[in-house]
Structure 1
């Protein structure tokens, strides 16, 4: 029998798959659908201190090779997700991850302190990559600010936690980010990658941008970012052997999931494909990954994780 289970920071996931934060996770009914699905875990929508409506619509559209979106962090505010985490049935076999995205370091501190005070078995993922909030830069591209944020948040969290990162495109940036992350022992996992920021999709017939926010500029996701995502997963897997990588970007089938794990990922999040297919996608992905592993003679993901060959 092929075993597609994994573990993140010592917490077991019955399979490697779960939703990317932002998809099927804003409201409790969506989270319940994730609980009832064949995912190996679930993560909440990135929470801000106060509820947000997000950007005006249309703010998400599928494209031939993925999607473009500029959501603007619509969420119910961190207290909503804290209440959900407090009521979550942790005796289930499926772990809960909580995503937090403060619009300032002070906001992040307040949210982290509230979750720490609640002393819950959920795991925190701090989102350092919010490319589609007008007027707000990505913390993930300001390495000094990222270091300062981790220096403040890591001692508060105490337990293992993770960060969501934007895609990086320069070898020197891989080195710089890894050097920052290496300084914090309880920073246990990196989620790579968020969407590629500030793409522009245009309707040829109407000569009009396809989404409304930011004059049509939005994050690119799905198949078109697979190779960028794989590079980021592998770059940080190589540089941070004592931390785990959660791969996200371009996974539409078991094949892409296999590639993420081969590049070094310990788990795989699904975004665009989940948006388009719904939570039923996880049953298909589990089956496809297991079939690929069986065909290649692998019994567990550790048999091939990170064993990418180079020429």
Structure 2
């Protein structure tokens, strides 16, 4: 029998697919749909700030050729809302709680709260929010990334990973890996959307989203090559104990397969989950199994990280 299992920080996943933070995870109703969806091995909550946040004005997410563009601005129901949910549901399957404070103080305060709580699952510290006006992405500042992780691991003892933006220069892969390898991280999630793109409606000659003059993060099919490059580059550089969640451009089971081939342990779905709904997980799983059967593989370990070069 073919198996699609993974292990992160001692947590066993019976399936490797989950939602990307920001999609189908704003409310407990949406989270329940992902939790119970056939083919979904886990879920991640909406990246939480300490309290409710309305986010950017609409329209802030729309379809565009080859994917989507968004500038959501971190709308969420606040940490207490999502922390209560994952504590209640953590016996069902391993879960990820995502947090994204607008300041280092926010992040440290939320991690203190989680440390003191009954949640014993995985936490994703989102260092890559490209769509908050006036706020830079922490993960592009390697000194700032080191500083916050140094403070975090002085007190935080539960499994923790980081959500990363895409990197575009080989030396930046080297630099971020040098930082991350100095800490006992459980995982990295790569990539977040590619920030500060601009899409134009050909009928109106207008930008397609309202915030930031139309600038937003792009996702979907168009970002898959960048996502695969980041998964591959980080897998080659990170300590083996740091697992990778591959995110970006997943439309088909073959796309999932390629993320794993580049070194991903789990694979999350964002743009196309928004378009298709949670039924996408079962379709992707079926297509992945077919791709593995075509290659003669019975487990993910048979090909994970085995990308061939010329």
Aligned partner of 1:216 among 214, 217, 220: 214
**Equivalent residue, structure 2, for 1:49:** 50
**Equivalent residue, structure 1, for 2:6:** 6
Q: Using the TM superposition, give the Cα deviation of residue 7 of structure 1 relative to its aligned residue in structure 2, in angstroms.
A: 1.5
Equivalence map 1:19-98=2 (5 Å): 19-38=19-38, 39-88=40-89, 90-92=90-92, 94-98=93-97
- Give distance in 1, aligned partners of 2:63 and 2:206: 16
Equivalence map 1:1-311=2 (5 Å): 1-38=1-38, 39-88=40-89, 90-92=90-92, 94-185=93-184, 187-242=185-240, 243-311=242-310
Q: Using the TM superposition, give the Cα deviation of residue 188 of structure 1 relative to its aligned residue in structure 2, in angstroms.
A: 1.5
- Give distance in 1, aligned partners of 2:139 and 2:187: 15
Give secondary structure in 2 for the equivalent of 1:155.
coil
Give secondary structure in 2 for the equivalent of 1:126.
strand
Q: Using the TM superposition, give the Cα deviation of residue 49 of structure 1 relative to its aligned residue in structure 2, in angstroms.
A: 1.0
- Give distance in 2, aligned partners of 1:50 and 1:86: 18
Q: Using the TM superposition, give the Cα deviation of residue 14 of structure 1 relative to its aligned residue in structure 2, in angstroms.
A: 1.1
Give secondary structure in 1 for the equivalent of 2:218.
strand
Q: Using the TM superposition, give the Cα deviation of residue 158 of structure 1 relative to its aligned residue in structure 2, in angstroms.
A: 1.4
- Give distance in 1, aligned partners of 2:154 and 2:221: 37
| CA distances 1:200-226 after superposition (whole Å, capped 9, x unpaired) | 001122111010000000001001000
Q: CA RMSD in A?
A: 0.9
TM-score, normalised on structure 2? 0.98
| CA distances 1:111-138 after superposition (whole Å, capped 9, x unpaired) | 1111110132211000000000000000
Query: Matched residue pairs, number?
Result: 308
Structure 2 regions of 5+ residues with no counterpart? none
Structure 1 regions of 5+ residues with no counterpart? none
